[in-house]
Amino acid sequence: MKRHQVTIVDIAQQLNLSKSTVSRVLTGHPSVSEKTRKAVMELAEKMDYQRNMLSISLLNKKSNTIGIIVPEFMSSYFPQVIIGAQEIAAQEGYNTIICHSNEHYETEVANTKLMLANQVDGVLVSLTKETRNFDHLKVFERKGIPIVFFNRVCEDMSVPKVVVDDYEGAFRAVEHLIKRNKKRIAHLAGPDSLPISVKRLRGYRDALKKYEIPVDEELIIPYDLTLTKVKIYVNHLLQLDNPPDAIFAINDPTAIEALRIIRKKGLRVPEDIAVVGFSNDYVSELIDPPLTTVSQPVKEIGSTAARLLIDQINRDISEWKSIIRVLKTELIIRKSS
């Protein structure tokens, strides 16, 4: 038997009030007496009334909902960002819709369409590794819907962005390896479509340059972040006539997979080959040996991005176009180096 959906009309009839009065109470309108407000809210709770958020959004031109689009859940990075963002959203009275693009451009495009269909007030986005066309994201700009990028950002759009100092983090990671007397440092790099990959590669190169260590292009392997390929690349590096004595990886999942392969080869870490990652994933401290990594203030990235987004929603978007928040990283030294 289909359950009857309680409506504003039902509440109005029970209390002998007009529909407009009940609607004003349920949407938080101030021009209602406290006695009426209390009666409506008590009956609404008793009758298990569920607000029609779409109807309310059409009336208010605001859904009190923000969207979050992330490219992967492979590590703890993006879940932690989401937690930071949701905490701020909840404090400010916003619900969240979360979409996972699974590193596919087409899925990301579909996610943006879903956000538009749900009439979000704004959206937080971290791009997929495949994204090179940004037309689907520029729709938000054209419609006046605030957008904030974090971590993997679109540099072609003049909207707020929240990033960490990827260059500095990479530089310090490679400098640490050099100070551990490592001279043949390989870099498992990310795709050049991502600004974070470009900045981390530049930090790697500049650290070698500072300490007058020649850059060997044979030791730099950009890849598409598909972990099944790490075995191929690490085995290739270890089979070189002059193999590396250290690996700096684009992120922790890559570094952890590299560690697993190196140990299966019977090599000692860090004596034969050291490994450093980037992001300080939860697992990095639990593996054997624990992974040296560049820690990012992950929850702060989420909370900072959410605050910027809500500020945009509540103000003139043009005031916020040039904002770029760059947060600091920290090198966490563990036994892998």
pTM, 2 dp = 0.81
Three-state secondary-structure class, residue 282: helix
Instruction: Kindly report, residue by residue over 233-259, the tens digit of the pLDDT.
Output: 999 999 999 999 999 999 999 999 999
- Give residue 312's domain range: 65-164+298-328
CATH of the domain at 44: 1.10.260.40
Let me know whether 223 and 130 are in one domain.
Answer: no
Let me know whether 239 and 147 are in one domain.
Answer: no
Alpha-helix runs per DSSP H in the chain: 8-15, 19-26, 34-46, 53-60, 77-91, 105-117, 135-142, 166-179, 195-210, 230-238, 252-264, 298-314
Vertex 46, ends 45 and 52: CA angle to 5°?
45
Let me know whether 285 and 307 are in one domain.
Answer: no
Query: Does the structure show a pLDDT above 70 at 93?
Result: yes
Closest C-alpha among 170, 317, 313, 305 to residue 250: 170
Q: What pLDDT is stored for residue 152 in this prediction?
A: 95
Q: Compute the mean pLDDT over every residue in the chain, rounded to the nearest whole number.
A: 90
Alpha-carbon separation of residue 259 from 34, 158, 186, 232, 234 (angstroms): 64, 39, 13, 13, 9
- Gyration radius of the chain's alpha carbons: 25
Let me know whether 203 and 88 are in one domain.
Answer: no
Q: What pLDDT is stored for residue 2 in this prediction?
A: 47
Let me know whether 195 and 214 are in one domain.
Answer: yes
Instruction: Kindly report, residue by residue over 157-184, the tens digit of the pLDDT.
Output: 989 999 999 999 999 999 999 999 999 9
Q: What pLDDT is stored for residue 14 in this prediction?
A: 86
Split at pLDDT 50, 70, 90, the class of 53 is very low
What DSSP state is assigned to residue 247?
E
User: Could you tell me what percent of the chain has a pLDDT over 90?
Assistant: 72
Let me know whether 203 and 286 are in one domain.
Answer: yes
CATH of the domain at 198: 3.40.50.2300
Split at pLDDT 50, 70, 90, the class of 4 is low
Let me know whether 85 and 107 are in one domain.
Answer: yes
Mean pLDDT along residues 318-325: 73
pLDDT: which is higher, 62 or 308: 308
Phi and psi dihedrals of 267, rounded to 5? -85, 150
In a domain, 27, yes or no: yes
Mean pLDDT along residues 313-328: 77
In a domain, 160, yes or no: yes
